[in-house]
Amino acid sequence: MAANFKYTAKPNPVVGALILERDQIICEGFHERYGGPHAEVNCLEQLEKLRNKQRENLTLLCTLEPCNHFGKTPPCTDEIIKSGVKNVVIGSVDPNPKVSGSGIKKMQENGIKVTQGVLDEEARKINEYFFFKHADNRPFITIKIASSKDGKSHDAKGSTTWITSEDSRNDVQLLRAEHDVILTGGNTVRNDNPRMNARVNFPVNQPKKILLSSQETWDMNFHFFKNADFEITNETDLSKIMRSSFLKESNSIMVEAGPKLVNAFLKNRLCDRLVIYKSQVEIGNDGVNWFENDNALDKYGFKIKSNYTIGPDIKMVLENG
């Protein structure tokens, strides 16, 4: 159930909480929106409506270690301690240094029995980007490309016709919705005038946007700049960009750009997942290659994780290692 809110809670992690009386669920709560109450608080609010419950016999289960610091909301540990619940089961320790271990310690110091590591792998999987960010000190980077059957990005003459099908383009919207930031380059904005937002039929915190360009002034009427939190930077050091203050709260970046910028990310080993939508259309010798040679992906250590059809196209997902 907590996963139902992953698009509105991001960039915060997906978190759910349950309260058990013996083996029966009596309360549940979820982190539903960024900046809103955490799952544990929502769950405990339900408990307050129930009377005559022996709190010391109840067990609170939560996806991640409850927070123990003031952020956009007060510490969840304080609310748990006040509730009188004496048993807490945690899926995974929170990797955020502001929390990691301190929430567990504070609850234990206040007489609460804490069990940790239950369904740890599942908690990490559903919050893949969040755990990666705190382990690697940069956002998880997904590169998405649309390729012709013969490995081309576009016609060198400047044609802007679609390469992939509508089915693939709809799938890209879901991919955008998962990420916190969309990053592109100046040529893409000038030549394609893309919106690069997540056009989906459910509520979503729209990704922020980064434009890498040395152009000093831009026409704000380009679709890219409309209704978005964006930053334009002429920084050429991609590693520095990954550590920028604009990305401080972001766990994931989706790169949608042309071959030059895509290959720069690959050469700097700044790609954790590569998603290729390959059409059945051939552009021919006049097309611009995505990669410099046929074994480029092997050279960078990518392995195929999935490979399936979307309409007439093929969607291939590759990861490092």
With CA atoms as reference, report the closest residue to 203 among 52, 10, 2, 65.
10
Examine residue 297 and state whether it is found in any structural domain, yes or no. Answer: yes
In a domain, 105, yes or no: yes
Q: Which of 99, 127, 155 is the last residue of a domain?
A: 127
Which residue segment(s) compose the domain that 304 sits in?
Answer: 138-320
* pLDDT(258) > 70: yes
Structure tokens at 271: 């790609």
Q: Give tens-digit pLDDT for 25-68.
A: 999 999 999 999 999 999 999 998 887 777 888 999 999 999 98
Report residue 143 as tokens.
Answer: 């590169």
C-beta neighbour count of 319 within 10 angstroms: 16
Round to whole Å and give the CA distance between 310 and 307: 10
Which residues 6+ apart lie within 8 Å of 123 measured at CB? 63, 64, 91, 92
Q: Band of the pLDDT at 72, cuts 50, 70, 90?
A: confident
Q: Are residues 147 and 291 in the same domain?
A: yes
* 40 catalytic per annotation: yes
Residue 132 lies in a domain: no
Listed residues 127, 162, 181: the one ending a domain: 127
Q: Is residue 77 part of a domain?
A: yes
Q: Three-state DSSP class for 2?
A: helix
Please count the structural domains in the chain.
2
Q: Are residues 217 and 308 in the same domain?
A: yes
pLDDT tens-place string over residues 109-159: 999 999 999 999 999 999 999 999 999 999 999 999 999 998 898 887 766
Q: Has residue 224 been placed in a domain? A: yes
CATH of residue 216's domain is: 3.40.430.10
User: Which two tokens mark 46?
Assistant: 């339900």
- In angstroms, the CA 302 to CA 119 distance is 28
What would the two tokens of residue 173 be?
Answer: 């919207």
Q: What is the DSSP track for 111-134?
A: T-EEEE-TTHHHHHHHTHHHHHHH
CB burial readout 139-148, b (16+ within 10 A) else e:
bbbbbbbbbb
Q: Are residues 211 and 236 in the same domain?
A: yes
For residue 275, pLDDT beyond 70 = yes
Annotated active-site residue in 21, 40, 45, 122: 40
Cα dihedral sign, 228-233-238-239: negative
Same-domain status, 147 and 211? yes
Residues 101 and 155 in one domain: no
Name, in order, each residue with C-beta under 8 angstroms of 293's C-beta and a sequence gap of 6 or more: none
pLDDT tens for 147-180 read 999 889 888 776 656 789 999 999 999 999 999 9
State the pTM of this model: 0.93
Same domain, residue pair 123 and 198: no
What CATH number corresponds to the domain at position 16? Answer: 3.40.140.10
Contacts of 208 (CB under 8 A, 6+ apart): 180, 181, 182, 228, 229, 230, 231, 246, 250
Q: Do residues 13 and 53 both lie within one domain?
A: yes
pLDDT of residue 98: 83
- Which strands sit side by side in the sheet containing 313-320, from one edge to the other? 230-233, 208-212, 181-185, 252-255, 140-147, 273-278, 313-320, 302-310
Do residues 253 and 141 touch, judged by C-beta distance below 8 A?
yes
The whole-number pLDDT of residue 166 equals: 94
